[in-house]
Copies of this chain bind each other. A is one copy, B any other.
Amino acid sequence: MRAMAVIGTGLIGTSVALAASRQGVVVYLSDRNPSAARTAAALGAGLTQTPAERVDLAVLAVPPSQVGTVLTEVQKRELAVSYTDVASVKAGPEQVALAQAPDPSRYIGGHPLAGREQSGPLAARAELFRDRPWALTPSPMTSNATFNRALELVALCGAVPVVTQSQAHDDAVALTSHVPHLLASLMAARLRDAPAEMSRLAGNGLRDVTRIAGGDSRLWGDILQSNAGAVVGVVKRVHEDLTRLVAALDQLAERGGEDRDDGLRTMMELLDRGVAGLAEIPGRRVGGGGRAVRVTVRDRPGELPRLLGVVADFGVVPEDATVDADEAGALTVDFTVPPGAADRMVAELRADGWEAVRPNGIGPYFREMARKEDGIPSEAVSK
């Protein structure tokens, strides 16, 4: 890839341009707000002039509802050989491309799953996409040449391509991004009628749950209306659960009520389903392949912290451990260890004088144990 055009120099467009520029690609920048394009250029993301000849790839970094229109316009003036976009919704833009764009074979939908808590070109980073998933949604018309150009772009940005179909993408992000945004907004909206004590008693849990609600509401309105069909399907099921939860909490709030047990059962069932659902999110530490390592520790101050220090070098954290104490004054510590690390860790612990073994066949047990310890509330107290 020699030359590229980026249309829309916000956070994502400018970050793409920075990444490509650093790899030696000549990048032409434009934005309907000239200051944004000039800012991106001043950051070293590329040039604000119009390319003299067709570039290899045009990247449309505009809201979902504008992708189809902008694609049609730039294809008509033959800006590039191939075209892609970075919008969060893919089925709608694809439909417009197939129906209206001069050459749909030169277009492939794209969506990097990356962002920051800030927006605009000043917040851009060449490294924004490093190791992040980047969805590509070829249509039946997309040519291999255009597909490969998009893969090249993803590689230039250091991201991981995930090839999927546009509607499958939209169904997935309704669940992983759009409905989470709406729930964050619903929660944040409640803070406006907060009691005076609220601001002093806000913890990190609240910050995490509401963080994404701070997004540009115009952009999010565009995203959500562009994916309303998939979003409403998920939101309706949340609404059903919430309706049941309101009834359960009413039962629990009634002091001495006979229905308290029913209410508690309904609420616990929801909480447990939530815990189970989290296992579907990748990147949680304890995976299917954990190995068990058991270490016996003399029960005297300093030994256990020393052991935790040694195992930390192997990527093992307290989350991955359970402890059992016997009557004789010894502690048995069971760790769940990344598969590649278990034998090395046992060898090093033994060389260091620890009593360490690898019990057989109890991997799943320890995974379950570890999972129960996993991910807990800001206000946890001991059971």
Indicate which residue in B62, B184, B317 contacts A274 across the interface (CB closer than 8 Å). Answer: B184
Q: Binary interface profile of A, 228-272, with partner B (CB < 8 Å = 1, else 0)?
A: 110110111111011101100110110000001001100110111
A277 touches B188 (CB 8 A): yes
The 8 A CB mask of A149-184 against B (1 = contact, 0 = none) is 000000000000010100011011101110111111
Instruction: Flag A81-92 by CB within 8 Å of B: 1 or 0 each.
Output: 000001110000
- Are A207 and B318 touching (Cβ within 8 A)? no
Q: In the complex the two chains form, is A245's CB within 8 Å of B182's CB?
A: yes
Bin chain A's interface residue count: 35 or more
Taking CB atoms, residues of chain B closer than 8 Å to A324 are 35
- The segment from A49-57, A140-148, A336-344, A368-376 found at the interface with B is A368-376
Instruction: List the B side residues contacting A113 at CB < 8 Å.
Output: 201-203, 378-379
Tell me which residues across on chain B come within 8 A of A323, comparing CB atoms. Answer: 35-36, 38-39, 42, 121-122
A46 to B238, CA, bound (A): 46
Contact B168–A197 (Cβ < 8 Å): yes
A212 interface residue per 8 A CB criterion: yes
**What is the CA–CA distance of A203 and B382 in the complex, to the nearest angstrom?**
31
Q: Are B225 and A264 in contact (CB under 8 A)?
A: yes
- Cβ of A288 within 8 Å of any chain B Cβ, yes or no, is no
| Nearest CB on B from A69, distance (A) | 14
* Cβ of A205 under 8 Å from chain B: yes
B190 touches A179 (CB 8 A): yes
Q: A41-B299, A117-B375, A216-B380 are in contact. Are A241 and B189 (CB under 8 A)?
A: yes
Q: Would you call B115 and A377 a contact (CB within 8 A)?
A: yes
Q: Is A43 an interface residue (CB 8 A)?
A: yes
Q: A224: nearest residue on chain B (CB-CB)?
A: B267
Is A280 positioned at the interface, with any CB of B under 8 Å from its CB? yes
Q: Are B277 and A219 in contact (CB under 8 A)?
A: no
Stretch at the interface among A6-14, A98-106, A347-355: A6-14
Which of B175, B245, B379 is within 8 Å of A191, CB to CB?
A: B175
Give Cα A176–Cα B10 distance, bound, in whole angstroms. Answer: 32
Q: For residue A298, which residue of chain B has the nearest CB?
A: B42
The chain B residue with its CB closest to the CB of A237 is B190
Give Cα A271–Cα B122 distance, bound, in whole angstroms.
24
CB of A218 within 8 Å of the partner chain: yes
CB-based closest 6 A-B pairs: A214-B375, A10-B382, A185-B274, A8-B382, A122-B318, A215-B377
Starting from the known contacts A191-B281, A221-B271, 15 additional A-B residue pairs (CB-CB under 8 Å) come to A87-B381, A119-B376, A133-B200, A180-B205, A182-B270, A184-B209, A186-B274, A188-B275, A190-B234, A202-B281, A209-B212, A213-B278, A216-B377, A228-B253, A228-B263
